[in-house]
Amino acid sequence: MLSIDRSIVEAIVAHARRDHPDEACGVVAGPVGGDTPTRHIPMDNAARSMTFYEFDSMEQLRVWREMDDRDEEPVVIYHSHTATEAYPSRTDVAFAGEPGAHYVLVSTREPDTEEIRSFRIVDGVVTEEPVRIVDAGVDPHAVQSYMFGQSPATVDYECSGS
């Protein structure tokens, strides 16, 4: 299960829309061991391609060192597919080199709706996981006495297969 703040999801989608029809890519860093993505880092797609993405190696070195200095790790590594579904391609699986990361895919093939899915990719095996989008803007303590009849502050996008 990936729990991620709605504002970060919106920033990822905005990035993917901005770069469409090229693929967009980036990282969401979070404290080591916490499994919580907190700091969105949009990366350049050095391939500038509609069907391929690749971090610029020098930008990656800088960002990875910065995470190291801040005791962070890449909790989420995301990219967009701009004409196909949000499911890891064989290329994605071949390259997946961060076994601890959530691989998030966004499909921007539909102009009005986005498909956002998350996967673990370890030793070539893809496992889809649910994405739980959290509204951090809603302080659970502040609204406690007003919860009756309200919609929940979190939405589970249940995905098949996991």
Partner 1 sequence: MAIEVRIPTILRSYTGGAKVVEGAGDTLNDLLTDLDSRHAGLKARLVTDAGALHRFVNVYVNDEDVRFLGALDAKLSDGDSVTVLPAVAGGAFGFAAAAAISQHRAATAAFSQRRATAASVAARRAAVAPR
Q: Toward partner 1, which CB reaches closer, 118 or 133?
A: 118
Q: What ranges in 78-158 are assigned the alpha helix state H?
A: 90-95
Is 77 a binding residue for partner 1 by CB under 8 A? The answer is: yes
The side-by-side arrangement of strands in the sheet containing 115-122 is 39-43, 25-31, 72-81, 102-107, 115-122, 125-129
Is 98 a binding residue for partner 1 by CB under 8 A? The answer is: yes
Buried b vs exposed e over 25-49: b needs ≥16 C-beta within 10 Å? bbbbbbeeeeeebbebebbbbbeee
Q: Which of 69, 90, 151, 158 binds partner 1 (CB under 8 A)?
A: 90
Residue 134's DSSP bridge partners are 5, 154
How far apart (Å, rounded) are the C-alpha atoms in residues 53 and 57? 12
User: Considering only 5-13, 92-100, 129-137, 152-160, which stretch makes contact with partner 1 by CB under 8 A?
Assistant: 92-100
Is 54 a binding residue for partner 1 by CB under 8 A? The answer is: yes
Is 89 a binding residue for partner 1 by CB under 8 A? The answer is: yes
Is 29 a binding residue for partner 1 by CB under 8 A? The answer is: no
Structure tokens at 15: 């990035």
Is 47 a binding residue for partner 1 by CB under 8 A? The answer is: yes
**Residue numbers 111-150 binding partner 1 by CB under 8 A:** none
Is 82 a binding residue for partner 1 by CB under 8 A? The answer is: yes
How far apart (Å, rounded) are the C-alpha atoms in residues 70 and 115? 31
Q: Toward partner 1, which CB reaches closer, 61 or 136?
A: 61
Binding site for partner 1 (CB under 8 A): 23, 25, 43, 46-58, 60-61, 64, 73, 77, 79, 81-84, 88-92, 94-100
